[in-house]
Structure 1
Amino acid sequence: MTASRSNSRPSVLITGASSGIGLATAHRLLDRGWRVFAAARRLEAMESLRCRGAEVLPLDLADQASCRQLADAVSGQVRALDALVNNAGYGETGPVETMPIERARAMFEVNVFGLIGLTQMLLPPMRERRRGRIVNLSSIAGRFVTPGAGWYGASKHALEGISDALRLELHRFGVQVVLVEPGLIRTGFEAVSEASLQQQSTDPVWGPMMRRVAASWAEGFRRGSSPELVASTIVSALETSSPKPRYRCGSESEVLVLQRFIPAQLWDALVRQRMIG
């Protein structure tokens, strides 16, 4: 699916393109000759993409009307996308017991329902043309969870499951579905979650655990990989002729390999030792 294989530029929509992985991916695909539609809530943060020729569009994944407006705008420019990179998403932290259900539900609205809802809107022309590629950004949290990130991990587990079903369903239509599972990436996630972590650290029951969780994450993100590493993985998944169902990349992503060979009780003990004490 490289630009050099076609007389016209291949088209891609990247959500969450205002920062981090989405921004880095958009720049890299522009470098490689793709026609880039970049979508996010903060239009001003995508000015560097607009200056390079990307078509910048607003998107709030939690708002179905916003998703429909984006889908209509893209469809008005290209009959069918060559690729969709579902990068937009966010995470909140906190113990399962104390996370307000409305905040947990809001996470699922973006990370699962909003993401798949937008995909449903853009998929029919790709399926009818019998060609296309969908890259869903999951996380190592989509394969295992840690204390204090249960709801976020649950949303990524859900994304993994629905992506597996979509990959199987679309195979005969020539549309390929890929999951990218980054490890710890320096995207500012830890800064965004810092306020809630500090608030939870004073909880009389869960405070000690959340302080250990915060310290463990801070140490991990200091050694985290750059968004450009994930962008490179996404480009590879888009441009190879036969993509793998899953790509893991970045700091600590190798844990996904190790976990498969460790009994659950031992795994739990290792995680408790590191993050609970």
Structure 2
Amino acid sequence: MQQGKDKVMLITGSNSGIGNATAKLAVEAGYIVYGGARRQDTFPAIQAVGAHPLCIDVTNEQSMTDAVKQIEAKHGAVDVLINNAGYGQMGPVEAITHEQWLHQYETNVFGLVRMAQLVIPAMRQEKHGRIINISSMGGQFTFPLAGAYHSTKYAVESINEALRFELKPFGIDVITIQPGPVTTPLAHSAINTLQVSPESPYNTLIQALQRISRQSIGYLSAERVAKIILRAAQAPHPKPRYKIGTMAHTLPTLHTLFSDRMWDRMMARFYA
């Protein structure tokens, strides 16, 4: 898996951000890259980096099945699956609707699992393969107003742990990418669309989060994360987990070392 030449890579959510940056680097490294996106009007962004666009909506069974069948019919198997599609549903737990909770899990968790299920049989038959799942430092602790998003990343961490052991006997590597906060238009818009209203009891928290987001101190670029993803795809003996950025190393460590009350006090100061 060291070389990308003629290896087939499938990336979900590849029309922008981390997915698009990864597709660009992978094409340059010699991979045959298929980039998934929900809307066909975003295909030009995928084609611009040299990847082959596919219509993949990770909340739609038919689109996922059709995409994998199309690739396997031409190449036999996907060599590297990068489960990148996802978004952050922000807001107080109380205020997020049932439909929003469902869509958050369908996108960030159930779609990731289904894509893995679809590529595993051919990978197992080939006796090699690599599944790279994009998690977050938020899979090890939780910020206020991000409970829905963080809970999906906790789920991804657990799924990755199970898959890694289950697939190891078949020569399939399962890798977790755990970046700190990343500067992407989608991430900022998710926070900035939080509504501040006179009736909301959460205005102080919302305004604090929006202020923190605007500062973007220590945020990672999509390109930096993409470089680590490509490294994980190419490494002959990949690490189970790649933490990216200072915050991805320090905050989970502090969360482990601090008592619950110490962590709560730190969060209270952070959101003051």
1:158 aligns with 2:148: no
- Unaligned runs of 5+ residues in structure 1 are none
> Which residue type is aligned with residue 228 of structure 1?
E
> Which residue type is aligned with residue 163 of structure 2?
L
1:184 aligned partner: 181
> Whole-Å Cα distance in 2 between the matches of residues 87 and 228 of structure 1?
14
Q: Is the 8 A contact 1:71 1:122 kept in 2?
A: yes
> Which residue type is aligned with residue 247 of structure 1?
Y
> What do the CA deviations read for 1:170-206 (whole angstroms, capped 9, x no partner)?
1111101000011111111343214531x14544311
2:120 aligned partner: 123
> Whole-Å Cα distance in 1 between the matches of residues 270 and 217 of structure 2?
16
Q: Percent identity?
A: 34
> Whole-Å Cα distance in 1 between the matches of residues 248 and 234 of structure 2?
22
Candidates 86, 100, 105, aligned match of 2:102: 105
- Unaligned runs of 5+ residues in structure 2 are none
> Which residue type is aligned with residue 173 of structure 2?
Q
**CA spacing shift, 1:203–1:139, aligned 2, 3 Å:** farther
> What do the CA deviations read for 1:201-239 (whole angstroms, capped 9, x no partner)?
5443111221112212222x2541110110011011111
Q: Is the 8 A contact 2:80 2:233 kept in 1?
A: yes
> What do the CA deviations read for 1:66-98 (whole angstroms, capped 9, x no partner)?
111111111122111111000000111111111
> Whole-Å Cα distance in 2 between the matches of residues 166 and 234 of structure 1?
18
1:228 aligns with 2:218: no
Deviates more, 1:106-115 or 1:50-59: 50-59
Instruction: Compute the TM-score of the two structures, normalised by the length of structure 2.
Output: 0.93
2:2 aligned partner: 2
**CA spacing shift, 1:58–1:206, aligned 2, 3 Å:** same
> Which residue type is aligned with residue 247 of structure 2?
E
Alignment of 1:244-255 (within 5 A): 244-250=239-245, 252-254=247-249, 255=251
Deviation at 1:257, TM superposition (A): 3.1
> Whole-Å Cα distance in 2 between the matches of residues 138 and 129 of structure 1?
26
> What do the CA deviations read for 1:228-268 (whole angstroms, capped 9, x no partner)?
11001101111111111111113522222333322222112
Q: How many pairs align?
A: 271
> Whole-Å Cα distance in 1 between the matches of residues 218 and 17 of structure 2?
16
Q: Is the 8 A contact 1:111 1:155 kept in 2?
A: yes
How large is the RMSD of aligned CA atoms in angstroms?
1.7
> Which residue type is aligned with residue 234 of structure 2?
E
- Structure 2 counterpart SS, 1:229: helix
Q: Is the 8 A contact 1:201 1:210 kept in 2?
A: no
Instruction: Compute the TM-score of the two structures, normalised by the length of structure 1.
Output: 0.92
Candidates 237, 243, 259, aligned match of 2:232: 237
> Which residue type is aligned with residue 141 of structure 2?
F
Alignment of 1:24-103 (within 5 A): 24-51=21-48, 53-103=50-100
> Whole-Å Cα distance in 2 between the matches of residues 51 and 218 of structure 1?
29
Deviation at 1:106, TM superposition (A): 0.6
> Whole-Å Cα distance in 2 between the matches of residues 59 and 241 of structure 1?
29
